[in-house]
Amino acid sequence: MNQITQPPLTGANLVAGTERRASGAVTYTGFDPRTGTAGSVAFHEATAADVHDAATAAAAALASTHAWPVARTVELLTAVADRLEDRAGAIVPVAELETGLDAGRLTGELARTVAQLRMFAAFVASGDHLEAVIDPPDATRVPPRTDLRRMMVALGPVAVFGASNFPLAFGVAGGDTAAALAAGCPVVAKAHPAHPSTSELCARAIVDAVAAAGFPAGWFSLLHGTGGEVGGLLVEAPAIAAVGFTGSLRAGRALHDLAAARPRPIPVYAEMGSVNPLLVTQAALRERGDAIADGLAASLQMGAGQFCTSPGLLLVPTGEDGDAFVDRLAQTLRDGPAGCLLTVGIRDALVRQLEQTRSLPGVDVLVEGGEAGVAPGAFLTATLLTAPAAAVVATPDLVEEHFGPASLVVRYGADEERDAVLNAIEGALTFTLHAGAQEGAELAPLQWRMADRVGRILWNGYPTGVAVTPAMHHGGPYPATTSSLHTSVGTAAIRRFQRPVAFQDAPQEALPPALRDGNPLGIRRLEDGVWTGGRTPKA
């Protein structure tokens, strides 16, 4: 059978272009969740010295490149994209072995990963991300106005913690890394221990791209660690300026708390998943109930339910149409295949959580998920629970995310019952409305109330699937993220890793080209209140 070993895998930490395997270091391996088979490569947990060296090398690398034009960043992003694309044949099979996700999905995910790097390259090439603003001097004002010019600069070295559920698009070379590199920041990535080989392959693509693009080797490092220790040291490293994280609420909050307690606090952009409520109206059921049930079943089973936007709470009207809808959804899930979860640990955690949830007052089981007949490996069939609205309002545990193939149906009668359930939901990434064709205006107020607690509102769709485009917002109020001001997907994701600097009365020769007279870069700038120049890329 296949082993998780592919040509260039070494199990080393990659610190500023060097391989680090401390003698006596703890090692770990990946596992194929479909079989439980361990990989043959021993990955070395990073030492405190590895963490320190990676962070300080990143800071030194940044300090040596201040005068570099943004064209260099475009070159680097493109070089990473090219290498990932070239190595798809090596990366996809390894990711498949480590995650149980199928090759089709992973091939698509790699394409998305490459596409988002190229999107950032085009965005950076446009110079729009510099947000250049120029206030010309005005001696006639009281007090006289000086010459003032502002632009965005790199925030500093970024620590990236990728997700288990998107080993490529939200992994070592994923969205956070792409956004940080686009902002002009070096990156120290922590490999996800559920896919260390995939992490190393993606990291090597970046390491090679860094060298090819002529960046200092400290621009990128990869660290391994299974517990919280390596990640904690990384977040506490003085040279680290920001943290990008995708994962669980528990881990994200822990990193947030560490970062906030530093002598010099730094921002943590943690995207921690959410319950993603989905509401179906009576009119929608009448118009297209079967289609919604089928679409929803597909959305729920996507990636074995391991999408951060997986719909985890379904509000369905009481009555016959609602009964038929729930029956159809339940039957489709019952007939569906068992999904392979990313790790045995994730499966076990979900099984335990579902046991607890099922024991809560009022909860009934509509579809009995389970492992029966599909061992070995981390397979699980979908679970569909139901609970009365009053129980959901009374029991906060019922509106928590169940990461994996599980969802909760809540039937509602009056609008007040519907609203009470929605009010019980904490910050979420998405809220989905399935409405009748004539209900847009009527539901607008409900939509606005939900806009207070979610980042994206979908009409008549399914929240799984997050387009990488300028208008995307993938974020939301806590506990969906630790910073509701920012998105982790789309061009705006770059803002997390930038800060403004203003230059007052600087001589032309000391100004960065982006702010010089005559706009030598031809970028979009706000000059004396007038937008000029620019070549904003088409999405």
Q: Binders of a second copy among 326-355, rule CB under 8 A? A: none
- Using the rule CB under 8 A, is 498 a contact of a second copy? yes
Q: Min. distance of Cβ 403 from a second copy in angstroms?
A: 20
Q: Which is nearer to a second copy, 376 or 440 (CB)?
A: 440
Taking contact as CB under 8 A, which single stretch among the options 25-33, 35-43, 166-174, 451-459 is the one that binds a second copy? 451-459
Structure tokens at 393: 């309002």
Residue pair 309/349 in contact by the 8 Å Cβ criterion? no
- Using the rule CB under 8 A, is 291 a contact of a second copy? no
- The CA distance from 355 to 369, in Å, is 11
Contacts of 383 (CB under 8 A, 6+ apart): 354, 365, 367, 368, 369, 402, 405, 406, 407
Residue pair 97/91 in contact by the 8 Å Cβ criterion? no
Q: Binders of a second copy among 167-196, rule CB under 8 A? A: none
Q: Binders of a second copy among 140-159, rule CB under 8 A? A: 143, 145-146, 148-150, 153, 155-156
Size of the site for a second copy (CB under 8 A): 87
Taking contact as CB under 8 A, which single stretch among the options 157-165, 219-227, 320-328, 489-497 is the one that binds a second copy? 489-497
H or E, element range at 421 = helix 415-423
Among 469, 517, 520, 522, binds a second copy (CB under 8 A): 469
Q: Min. distance of Cβ 508 from a second copy in angstroms?
A: 7
Pattern 95-134, binding to a second copy, x per CB under 8 A? Answer: --------------------------------------xx
Q: Which is nearer to a second copy, 20 or 496 (CB)?
A: 496
Q: Which is nearer to a second copy, 362 or 470 (CB)?
A: 470
How crowded is the C-beta side of 4, counted as CA atoms within 13 Å? 33
Cα–Cα distance list, 264 to 18, 50, 118, 483 (Å): 29, 21, 33, 18
- Using the rule CB under 8 A, is 505 a contact of a second copy? yes
Q: Min. distance of Cβ 413 from a second copy in angstroms?
A: 23
Which residue is associated with the tokens 């300080």?
Answer: 56
Q: Find the largest Cα–Cα distance for the chain.
A: 83
Q: Binders of a second copy among 231-270, rule CB under 8 A? A: 256-257, 260-261, 264-265, 267
Which residue is associated with the tokens 């070379």?
Answer: 173
Q: Binders of a second copy among 53-82, rule CB under 8 A? A: 62-63, 66-67
Q: Which is nearer to a second copy, 196 or 455 (CB)?
A: 455
Among 1, 139, 375, 510, binds a second copy (CB under 8 A): 510
Beta strand 454-459 with 132-135 is unpaired
Cα–Cα distance list, 429 to 56, 300, 474, 520 (Å): 34, 15, 6, 41
Residue pair 110/17 in contact by the 8 Å Cβ criterion? no
The alpha carbon dihedral of 302, 307, 313, 316 has a sign of: negative
- Using the rule CB under 8 A, is 520 a contact of a second copy? no
- Using the rule CB under 8 A, is 483 a contact of a second copy? yes
7 preceded by a cis bond (ω within 30 of 0): no
- Using the rule CB under 8 A, is 473 a contact of a second copy? yes
- The CA distance from 332 to 40, in Å, is 39
Which residue is associated with the tokens 């297209």?
Answer: 288
| Residues with a known catalytic role | 271, 308
- Using the rule CB under 8 A, is 482 a contact of a second copy? yes
Among 98, 163, 456, 519, binds a second copy (CB under 8 A): 456
Q: Which is nearer to a second copy, 1 or 67 (CB)?
A: 67
Contacts of 52 (CB under 8 A, 6+ apart): 233, 237
